[in-house]
Chains A and B, each alone.
Chain A
């Protein structure tokens, strides 16, 4: 038995096949898609200042929205050095509308050409925008640049807006999952039709490699161009919401925006959102978040005011009582008032509470302890 037969016996054989001969190429394939400006309302008005509310990345001053590069890759697998980005789509706004330029490697030898186009693209822009690019597209391209001994500096230095994270901060509370297709449907109100599932992409490409039938890739190209355009629409939709939180219909979303703003120390904007959210389903959390924000800022009286409002509106269970009791005891040193609030909280304890992770009994014990201390303090006077 010769070695080749042994290899077949060990590895199993599906019968020999032969590829069509490849031609030596000097560039990869380029496709361009143009979309009208109407599809991207307000996109040209996007400012650095607005983006800074949405992300903590370093956004250059006076950023021209036409210098944001929207990028998405289609790959042969889920990662590791053997995964290749066979299609890279890059889109940007122009005065006339939105352009998507897609670079496809028709075979592996075209990869360096594809990467050169990507590198050239990166040079021309000031901000990169992707969907899940932090964990997927950027490390993958980094790996491909490295494998082709190309410079990775620009890719890593470019400020990067990862819409996945930005969307999660805004909508995860309400929607749960935040994949791009779902967001397009629910947030933008544009469900996709006949879209190719992402999991089928690699196999499509491998079949194309064997047959070189370009029609196999039609769906992928369409899907990729749509993804990129959606990035731009989504970013601008979000920007609009950040500028006008009062337009947001869902209490969960306004509250989430408040949290997102607070995370990057946009305290005033955050408080505005919390105030807006106080009337809706997230009212309890929003009230508590607002009061806590005041307290952290040293504005104890404003915080107390919020707690008092909550008590008046019967919101937030025992939390406002406890917090207000702390305020009376430690700030205003009004022990009788603190004691009264604590005793009211004890009466209320069976009602639902905001305090997660604590059993009713634990809360009760804490309140009792507080009550005892206050009584002792009263006596000591």
Chain B
């Protein structure tokens, strides 16, 4: 059976269809093409034609033309629409015209760079010219580095390497910096939050050096579909960009099936698990010879599902090899082999974490099964985009888990299908991040009085501060680096706080090994002494946490419980930035707060039954975090009307609803944003609900929440209204046992009141 036949059959199956909340068919789309533009170097033509390309898609032509006009370009393209041409063609044209010209390619991960470089090699070979393309990352052998620095026309790297390996040693890269014509950044939608805020500052440093060397590179950026590609790109590079978002690539018909597993226990709101359903659907695809990819959220689920599917086709001929698992932690060689297997058709089914979500080339598949919502709409579209050939029908199944966010999506498919309201946010001016990179910049090239650092605010104040601290030395109008440190080594681009905790496995006394890192704000929660720390499915117990040295020592154990620390959070106000009256008597405000976290005790909880087995004390210092927050203050009058626990229960219900809605509309991971309610807040002295950025300095989530505060309340109310439960369940305001019998009603009443 092919996909179209399978779709027909399923639609006639009433048992299946009763749990389908929406079956959306996206019609096929024709290719829209245009002739090769004049700005493309003629020598590229035969190379393209030999691959059967006689015209370009319109988005490719548009981006080539915009680049030729000297504009910075952002191309928004779905998977498999030939986006690499949007940057390879202008870059190759430029180098063909001037062999001194240089380009820098930045990919978020090493795997992606390897993939794109091989494509570029093919193209260069076909043109038959000597254009040197090199990857420069942690894997580049020391002996090869000199050649890369001197001779590489196209240097492919990642943000981390650019930050710590290239910029601080820019004098070794004179050729590159003097002749840099294009900076290509692919997958820019991955640069949101802390990572993006860091990259934006790395780019400020890069452009500052280009200025010193007298080059003026242009940017070519590529993004998957998000709501604000232009805004994201402009914040990232600090200059205006031309947006190219008409997709000219053809696409076959696509079916989108939203499946909500049936309720098993209505009282407790428990549904049948997503994993067994996924097993059935992926199994059905496999048996029908339909090539598919199944996405699961955890590495463990990937392993479990892979085994199920392998069992289904296991035979003496080794057919189990047609099913493969794919996740971080697999060796690069094995990953490449799986990718090749998918492209060649040797592999029929792959089960993956989001590791395959990014633009690694695995060709287009027939079907995609999502076991649970990946967390953001953009990810979901990226995953869905893995299915969908240029011709022929494809199908995507979304299987909801019982998590609140999954339930929201499966019950509001329009949210997912229509114009995405998601924004990728970053905040290059986060003071923690800005200051770290400012130091790097000062190390790389002395600041002069009146200099700016990109469009960052407060250059003067930062310079004064660093001079006062003796890190810079101010003399005759210049600020010179005057510290022994190598500032780039103090920053990890993928987290905000500079000092991370290192996790060291001491199970083998003769061979201690570092197994991971954790930021200092999470460490007290998960790495306190006697905590059970899980890593790749294995259990470890924390033997010792050296708080000052930022090291945790763990030892392998096998116990039947996990631990959960009690975190006491207290908030204090630093500064109110904006305050606005709201809904007659309420107030909404935006400002900066200090979050003080203290872990005092932890619980041991048995697996499966989740019963508490015991307690332990934790003795750790408090950790402070300055961050941005927005909050709603409820009027006293409203509070006075509610006796006893009613107000508290209602506010708890609203906080739970906001925890569902915020990640969706702020486009962030659930742990990036914290929602807290306080019946008598020390900040406002009134009942208050707060949303704050859960990272030092904030990445703009609180600002965004403030700007869309009415929408957030409206959506929170909608979740409560649409939920089938009577008194509350984990998918909306929280279970009755937590919020009381009247919790849901009170929460809804308060929300209506606030919505005016």
Contacts and interface: CB of A to CB of B under 8 A. Distances in A.
A22 B481 CA distance: 17
B437 interface: no
A4 B464 contact: yes
B473 A209 contact: yes
B651 interface: no
A126 B482 CA distance: 34
Interface stretch (B396-404, B442-450, B517-525): B442-450
B142 to A, nearest CB: 11
Contact of B171 (A1, A24, A108, A147): A147
A146 B172 CA distance: 10
A78 B168 CA distance: 12
Interface string B449-492: 00000000110011011001110011110101111111110000
A82 B481 contact: yes
B468 A16 contact: yes
Contacts of B461: 3-4, 7
Given A11-B465, A210-B470, A3 B458 contact: yes
A168 B626 CA distance: 53
Contacts of A202: 484
B170 A81 contact: yes
B443 A80 contact: yes
Interface string A9-47: 111011011010010100000000000000000000000
B465 A108 contact: no
Contact of A81 (B435, B444, B457, B464): B444
Given A4-B465, A6-B431, A206-B470, A139 B172 contact: yes
Contacts of B574: 1, 9
A11 B468 CA distance: 12
Contacts of A210: 470
B473 A81 contact: no
A8 interface: yes
A280 interface: no
B462 A108 contact: no
Nearest to B466: A11
A289 B483 CA distance: 50
A112 to B, nearest CB: 11
B475 A108 contact: yes
A81 B169 contact: yes
A76 B483 CA distance: 7
Contacts of B172: 139, 143
Nearest to B477: A109
A8 B467 CA distance: 12
A7 B470 contact: no
B443 A81 contact: yes
A142 B171 CA distance: 8
Contact of B482 (A9, A79, A142, A206): A206
Nearest to A75: B484
Interface string B605-628: 000000000000000000000100
A10 B435 contact: yes
Interface centre among B169, B474, B481 (most CB of A within 10 A): B481
B483 A206 contact: yes
B174 interface: yes
Contacts of B196: none
A147 B475 CA distance: 17
B697 interface: yes
A107 B171 CA distance: 22
Contact of B475 (A76, A109, A146): A109
Contacts, number: 106
A356 to B, nearest CB: 24
A79 B482 CA distance: 13
Contacts of B432: 10
Contacts of B696: 10
Nearest to A149: B212
Contact of B169 (A22, A76, A80, A107): A80
A297 interface: no
Given A10-B697, A206-B482, A82 B469 contact: no
B575 interface: yes
Contacts of A6: 431, 592, 626
A121 interface: no
Chain B interface size, as a band, is 35 or more
Nearest to A1: B575
A209 B444 contact: no
A77 B169 CA distance: 13
A179 interface: no
B282 to A, nearest CB: 48
B626 A9 contact: yes
A79 B487 CA distance: 12
Given A6-B431, A143-B171, A147-B445, A24 B476 contact: yes
Contacts of A143: 171-172
B281 to A, nearest CB: 50
Nearest to B464: A4
Interface centre among A22, A81, A82, A139 (most CB of B within 10 A): A82
Contacts of B486: 77-80, 82
Nearest to A139: B172
B480 A108 contact: yes
B168 A3 contact: no
A231 interface: no
A84 interface: yes
Contacts of B480: 84, 108
A17 B470 contact: yes
Contacts of A209: 473, 482
Contacts of B575: 1
Contacts of B462: 7
A13 B476 CA distance: 24
Contacts of B464: 4
A372 interface: no
Nearest to A207: B470
A365 interface: no
Contacts of B474: 19
A4 B474 CA distance: 17
Interface string B68-107: 0000000000000000000000000000000000000000
A3 B485 CA distance: 25
Interface in B164-204: 168-172, 174
Interface centre among B170, B482, B696 (most CB of A within 10 A): B482
B629 to A, nearest CB: 14
A80 B469 contact: no
A203 B483 CA distance: 8
A82 B441 CA distance: 9
Given A3-B457, A76-B484, A146-B174, A109 B478 contact: yes
A76 B457 CA distance: 29
Contacts of B482: 76, 206, 209
Interface in B481-509: 481-488
Interface string B146-180: 00000000000000000000001111101000000
B470 A81 contact: no
A11 B168 contact: no
Nearest to B481: A82
A24 B475 CA distance: 9
Contacts of B171: 81, 142-143, 146-147
Interface in A47-66: none
A80 B445 contact: no
Contact of A22 (B431, B445, B465, B475): B475
Interface centre among B168, B171, B442, B697 (most CB of A within 10 A): B171
Given A19-B475, A24-B476, A77-B486, 5 more contacts: A6-B592, A7-B458, A13-B468, A13-B469, A84-B480
15 contacts: A4-B465, A9-B626, A10-B696, A10-B697, A77-B484, A77-B485, A82-B487, A107-B473, A108-B476, A142-B171, A143-B172, A206-B470, A206-B482, A206-B484, A210-B470
| 9 interchain residue pairs of minimum CB distance | A82-B443, A143-B171, A82-B481, A108-B480, A80-B168, A202-B484, A109-B476, A7-B465, A10-B431
Interface of A: 1, 3-4, 6-11, 13-14, 16-17, 19, 22, 24, 76-82, 84, 107-109, 139, 142-143, 146-147, 202-203, 206, 209-210
